[in-house]
Structures are given as structure tokens and as C-alpha cells.
A and B are shown apart, each in its own frame.
Chain A
Amino acid sequence: MAENSGIPDGRFPATRWSLVARAGDEDPQARREAMETLLPKYLSALVAHVQYRWSSPREQAEDLVQGFVANVVLEKELIATADQQRGKFRTLLLTALDRFVSNQFRGQRAKKRCPAAGPLRPYDERLAVEKAVPDPSLAFDVEWARTVVAEALQRMCGECRASNRMDVWEVFRCRVVEPLMEGAAVPDYREIVQRFGFQSPSQASNVLITGKRMYARLLKGVVAQYAGGGCDSESEIRGLQATLARYGR
């Protein structure tokens, strides 16, 4: 169970500018420590981006991202060029990543024309064609949203367990999470009352409302933790929600 300091699966692609700043530090030790903290949070979303935008199999996408991290982020010190005032860190990362992947595919094509230059890995020309996507960073945003939501839910479950209020978690899970995330039928009021033995509508509503408020608080907390001290977490969430809403149905 991830608690306040935990990041499930080492993922979280939101910009934490304090870390970005340290990753661009002139002190190599500080730089390495910041990078070690910062990079794992982005890897999953970067891999998802390559998989989707470049129609890349998972393994190939992971190789490409590893290559990108080693050759561009670390060697060319990409993070040192990041500037909070110029926009989102993830935009900088994605632009550089796409340029790197494009160069890799171009290089593979050149090698294919000249086999003597070295061993060839199996390569499908189709993969080199950028997929027409409505928003190039959608893959990244979806992975980010998934991670944020998963972490908020994990924290909520942990908080409910710690405070011996699993009824709050269970009601929220069956009334909100399962219908929204898994397409489960929404249990009606009568089912909820029978299942949890509530004595009155006030009691049932209190539990559901407490769960909704707790989730909203934790969701904002997750975003605030990683998006920097000056971050307006509500705006961040609304912006991400609006982006996803445009492409959902």
C-alpha cells in the first residue's frame, strides 16, 4: 500500500519543479540524486507515449525510452535546459523523445539499405510511420491520469483501513469506482442500505459523502505533492480532466 510518500510502481509523470531544478544543478552529486528520483516517475508514461504514437511494441518502446534517457536526458543533459517559465516539463520531454525516436527509425532505415554496416534488428517500416493521433501527448496524459487516480485510490483505501472506516471505502468503491472504472452496474440506494446495514438516509449519505470528499482531497494532494509547491492542484486536475473529456465518449 502506497502511503503519503509512496509512488505506485515508481510512476508519476507530473512535473515536480524542485526536482527538475536539482537535476539541472551543476553539482554532479545533486544532479544524479535528483535524476534518480525524477526519471522513474516519467518512464511509464514515456513508454506509453512511444507505444501509442509510434505504434511500437512494448519491448521496443522500452528500449527506445532507455536509449533516450541514456543518450539525451543524461548525456546531453536535457533537464538542465528545462525552464519552468517556458512551459510544462513534460512537453520538453515529449518533444525531445519524439525527435530521438524519429532519428532512431531513420538510422535503422539507413542501416537496412547498407547491411554491411552492422547487424540489423527486425524492423517493420510500418512502425516508423507516426500514428495520426488527435493529440500527440494524449498517451502521456492518459498514463499520467491513470497513475494519479490509482495513487489517490490507494491512499484512500489505506486511510480508510488505518482509521477503521472500511465502510467508507467499500461504499465509495461500489457506488463510484467500480461503475466508473469497470463499467459495473451502479448499486441503487436500497442495495447499499441492505449491504451495509445503514439505519437511516443520513447515515448512508454521510458515508458516501465522506468517501467522495476524502477521494477529492487525496486526489488534490497527490497532484500537489508532485506538481510543485506553487501548483494549483484543482486547476491541474481540471485541465487534465478537460483534455481527457475531449477524447472520451
Chain B
Amino acid sequence: MPMQPEENFDPLHITSLSRMLDLEATSHSGAWSPADFPAILDHQLAAALESELAGMDFEVSLKLEAWRRQSDHRLESFADLLTHPRPPLELLETVKQFAKRHRSSQDATLPPEIATALYFACIAVGLTRLGRRITRMDDDALRGGVRWALDQQWIDEPVRDVLHEAAVLLGAGDG
């Protein structure tokens, strides 16, 4: 693609080249922008538990099969788990660990904000549907996390609903 001199020295062109040489901008960080978060969360909620959790638990297929047999409700996706009236505790904890790994790992493929929302959503489901606390966080830390999640405008139902229920349970008001 031969370029003419005037094209070569257009400041916009120089900026383009400069950005293509910016190793930070073209590297791992910032793969997606905050504007993408609603779509990413929707996509994560629709994703299949089995394939997503395969790296966390090699027996997940067998376990899911057993849990499905015991349940009248669908248990295929993350959304199914978060809306389940009596989700399997072990599966909830596995998904929480999945989210935790994505919050802290440098090789994580989920934006940390999405992972954090999923993390607190799992804890909220444990509290509200099972009456179980699947975290060692104290109430203040937990309230803070739930409030943070409720402050994120890109978090919609069903995650927002369960966070709101947990906030009420924790005495964190309307969030």
C-alpha cells in the first residue's frame, strides 16, 4: 500500500502509527471497554456452565448431570444458576471460585469488573436462597461489595435482583 508524502505526514496517520507501536495499547490489558460490560455480562450469564467450569473441576460434567436429575429447574447456564430457587451449594462455590480467579489473575479473560459482579452475585444467591454464607468476609466488607455492585449501572437483572435481596438482608438498604 504505497503512500503519498502528504498522507505519510498527516498527523492522524502519525498518531495511527504511534498507536500501533504502543505495546501497552496492543497488549493484554484493556481488551474490552466499559461500554462493552453489559453485553459481556449478558454473554457470561448465557454461557454454558459445563464448558466454562471444565478448567475448574474436571468432574463438572458428571456433577451437573446429577444436579440436573435432582432439580426441576434448568441448570445449563450461569443465569440458570443465579435464578435457581435452590441452587447446589457446591456449584455455587465453584462459580464463585471461577469469578475470584478472574478477579485476581493476570491471565484472566473476563474484565475484573464483570468477575467481581459475578463473585458477589454468587455470595448473594447463597445468602438469599440457601441461607448460607459462602465467604469469609465480614458484614461490612460484604455490604461494601454488594453496594459497589448495585452502583454499577451496567448490572441488570437477574444479577441486580439478587444483589438487591442480599442488600436488604444485610441491612444495606436499597443500595
A157 to B15, CA, bound (A): 23
Q: Does B71 belong to the interface (CB within 8 Å)?
A: no
Which chain B residues in 7-29 approach chain A with CB under 8 Å? 8-9, 11-23, 26-28
CB neighbours of A219 from chain B (8 A): 21, 23, 26
Contact B40 A201 (CB under 8 A): yes
Q: Which of A172-218 contact B (CB under 8 A)?
A: 176-177, 180-181, 183, 188-190, 193, 198-202, 204-206, 208-209, 212-213, 215-216
A139-B9 in contact (CB<8A)? yes
Known: A189-B36, A249-B15. Contact between A200 and B47, CB under 8 A? yes
Say yes or no: B12 contacts A200, CB within 8 Å: no
Interface residues of B, count at CB 8 A = 36
In the complex the two chains form, is B20's CB within 8 Å of A181's CB? yes
Contacts of B13 in A (CB 8 A): 142
Residue of A nearest to B11 (CB): A249
Question: Which of chain B's residues have a CB closer than 8 A to the CB of A176?
Answer: 26
Evaluate contact between A52 and B9: CB separation under 8 angstroms.
yes
Encode contact with A along B19-59: 1 for CB under 8 Å, 0 otherwise: 11111001110011001100110011001100110000000
Known: A199-B47, A200-B48. A208 touches B9 (CB 8 A): no
Asked if A224 is at the interface of the complex by the 8 Å CB criterion, the answer is no
Secondary structure at the B interface, as helix, strand, loop or mixed, is helix
Q: Within the assembled complex, what's the spacing in Å between the Cα atoms of A145 and B110?
A: 32
How many A-B residue pairs have C-beta atoms within 8 angstroms? Tell me: 125
Select A200's contact among B21, B35, B44, beta carbons within 8 Å.
B44
Q: State whether A189 touches B48 (Cβ < 8 A).
A: no
Q: If the complex has contacts A200-B43, A212-B31, A247-B14, are A142 and B20 also in contact, measured as CB distance less than 8 A?
A: no
B22: chain A residues within 8 A (beta carbon): 241
Which residue on chain A has the smallest CB distance to residue B21? A241
Asked if B16 and A181 make an inter-chain contact with CB atoms under 8 angstroms apart, the answer reads: yes
Other-chain contact of B110, A48, A52, A201 (Cβ < 8 Å) = A201
Binds B, one of A73-81, A98-106, A232-240: A232-240
Q: What interface size band does chain A fall in?
A: 35 or more
Residues from chain B with a CB closer than 8 A to the CB of A198 are: 43
| Among candidates B18, B27, B35, residue contacting A241 with C-beta atoms closer than 8 Å | B18
Is A138 engaged at the interface, CB distance under 8 Å to the other chain? Answer: yes
Residues A142 and B23 in contact in the complex (CB < 8 Å), given A189-B39, A200-B44: no
Is B3 located at the chain interface by the 8 A CB criterion? Answer: yes
Which residues of A pack against B, CB within 8 Å?
Answer: 48, 51-52, 58, 138-139, 142-143, 145-146, 148-150, 176-177, 180-181, 183, 188-190, 193, 198-202, 204-206, 208-209, 212-213, 215-216, 219-220, 234, 237-238, 240-241, 244-245, 247-249
